[in-house]
Structure 1
C-alpha cells in the first residue's frame, strides 16, 4: 500500500467520548491523519464521518494493541503522535476496594499507556521524531478522599513521563503531560458510581456518599470545562516547535496544583475535605 508520507499520523486512545473524542477531532482539523482507538468501535461512527479512522483497541489486551499499531503502520507508514488518553477513575476507600479492581485501575491507566508507548517507540525512533502525550490529571499532583487508587495511577504516569522524557530525547522524541482539571465527560459519573458501589454502606459511608455527590456535581457544567479545551491544548502541544513538558488546563487545575505546593499537608487535607463535603470526624 502506498503511504502519504507528508501527512502526519496520530493515534488517540479512549477516542469514543470525552477528551479522546475532542482530541481526535481537533487533530484531524489540524491536518493529521487520526486513528481513534477504543474498545467499542460502534461508538465512533460519527468520528468516521469526520474523517477519523476508528480502530478497535483494548489497552488491557496486548494482542489488541499490537494489532492496532501494526495496522496503522501498514496503512499509514508512520506514527508521529501518540495520545495516551484511555482511562477511568476508580474511587472508594482503600479498605473497601477489592484488589482485583485496584489492579485493573493500573492496567488501564498505567500499564496500557506504557505498553502502547513501547509498541510505538521503535517507529518513532526510526524516524528520529515523535510526540508522546500522556493525559494524566491534576489528580497526578494532588490527593482527594477515597481516590487512593486513581491518584496512584496518575502519580505513576507522571513519573513514567518524566523518566521517559529523559530516555527518548536523544532520538528527537518529546514527551508531554497534560494535566486536566474538572472536565465535562463521563469520567466523573463513572467515578461516582464506583465509590457508591464499594463505600456507600461501609464504615466509610459518610465519606463515600459525600464524595459521590461531589463527583456527580463535577460532572455538570457548573464545575467543569469542555473536553474541547483539552483537545485544543493537545493540538497546541504537538504542533509547537518547543512544547512545554506540562500543561495544566481545565476547571481548578492550576489553582489546585498551586495550593498543593504551598500549603502544609494537613492544611491541604482540611481544604479538600471542605471542598468535597467530607466530614472530618
Structure 2
C-alpha cells in the first residue's frame, strides 16, 4: 500500500526537501504552504494552499487529502518562523502571531488528523521543533517559548494516542543552511523601538547566527533524511536530532544551565565584538 504524507511549510527549506525525498521514496505527498507555487513540482507531489493560522484552511487541507486518498499515514508539522526581537520592544500582537503559526497551527492540524489515524490504528504526527525548544538566546524569547510548548504538547499527546497505535514525535534541528536566520533577524530589527537600547545586542546575535549557519548549519536535504527516518523507523523515538552536537547542546542546556549560559555568552561576545570592530 502506497503511504500518504502531509507536509506543512513545503515551499522552502526542510519542508521543500522533505517533499522531494518522500516522493522519491514512492510516497504520495501533499505539500501545504501559502506560496503554493513554490512547492516542488514533481510526480507524486500535490501542492495545496495552506495557512496554518486559519482553521478553515487547515480543515480544507486535511479534508482534501482524505477525500482523495482515503488515508493519511504521516502529518509533518513543519510550518514555522522566528519572530525575533527584545521582549521589551516586541509587540504582543507579533508574539501571538508567533504562537499561532508555530504552535496552534500544529495543534489544530493534529486535532483534524487524529480521528483519521486513530481509525486506521496507524499513523504518526511529526512535530518540527528545534534545539531552541531547550536551548535559548536573547531576542528569541517568543520563538523558544513556542518550541518548548510544542515539545511538551507533543509528549503529552504521544501518551494519549499510543494505545491507538499512533505516535506523536519531535524533531529538533540545530542551525540550518537556510533563510531562517535572515528572516528572524529582519523581524528583530523591525521590532526594535526607535532609539532602542538593544540595537547592539541585535548586531551581536546577528553575527552569532550568521557564523553558525555558514560554518556548521545542516542542509535542508540532511534534515529531510531525519524527517524520513522519523516517519519510517520501526521503533520510533521520542526525539530526533540531526547531529551529536545538536543532542549535546540540548543536554548541556538542560543538565548544566550555568555552564551553557557561560559558554553561550562567551561565544556571543566574541563573535559579536569581532563583527562590530569590522564596521
TM-score, normalised via structure 1 length: 0.91
State yes or no: 1:268 paired with 2:263: no
Measured after TM superposition, the shift of residue 50 of structure 1 is 4.2
Q: 1:204 aligns to what?
A: 198
- Paired with 2:32 and 2:134, the residues of 1 have a C-alpha distance of 27
Measured after TM superposition, the shift of residue 14 of structure 1 is 0.2
Q: 1:3 aligns to what?
A: none
Q: 1:103 aligns to what?
A: 96
Match of 2:168, SS? strand
Measured after TM superposition, the shift of residue 252 of structure 1 is 4.2
Alignment of 1:91-240 (within 5 A): 91-199=84-192, 201-220=195-214, 222-240=215-233
- Paired with 1:7 and 1:257, the residues of 2 have a C-alpha distance of 36
Q: Deviations over 1:14-45 (max 9, x none)?
A: 0000010111111112221000110011112x
- Paired with 2:243 and 2:51, the residues of 1 have a C-alpha distance of 27
Alignment of 1:3-152 (within 5 A): 6-44=1-39, 47-152=40-145
Q: Deviations over 1:131-169 (max 9, x none)?
A: 110000000011111110000000000000100000101
User: Over aligned residue pairs, what C-alpha RMSD do you find?
Assistant: 1.6
**Aligned residues of 1:183 and 1:250 also touching (Cα < 8 A):** no
**Aligned residues of 1:138 and 1:181 also touching (Cα < 8 A):** yes
Measured after TM superposition, the shift of residue 255 of structure 1 is 2.5
**Aligned residues of 1:176 and 1:245 also touching (Cα < 8 A):** yes
Match of 1:203, SS? coil
Q: Deviations over 1:195-215 (max 9, x none)?
A: 122238411122111112322
User: Is the deviation greater in 158-167 or in 234-243?
Assistant: 234-243
- Paired with 1:148 and 1:119, the residues of 2 have a C-alpha distance of 29
Match of 2:41, SS? helix
Match of 1:249, SS? coil
Runs of 4+ in structure 1 over 6 Å off:
none
Q: 1:249 aligns to what?
A: 242
Aligned length: 270
Structure 1, gaps ≥5 residues long: 1-5
**Aligned residues of 1:93 and 1:199 also touching (Cα < 8 A):** yes
User: Is the deviation greater in 231-240 or in 77-86?
Assistant: 231-240
**Aligned residues of 1:25 and 1:50 also touching (Cα < 8 A):** no
Q: Deviations over 1:222-261 (max 9, x none)?
A: 2311011111111112111111111121584123112213
Measured after TM superposition, the shift of residue 267 of structure 1 is 3.2
**Aligned residues of 2:252 and 2:259 also touching (Cα < 8 A):** no
- Paired with 2:14 and 2:20, the residues of 1 have a C-alpha distance of 10
User: Is the deviation greater in 253-262 or in 33-42?
Assistant: 253-262
**Aligned residues of 2:52 and 2:105 also touching (Cα < 8 A):** yes
Structure 2, gaps ≥5 residues long: 274-279
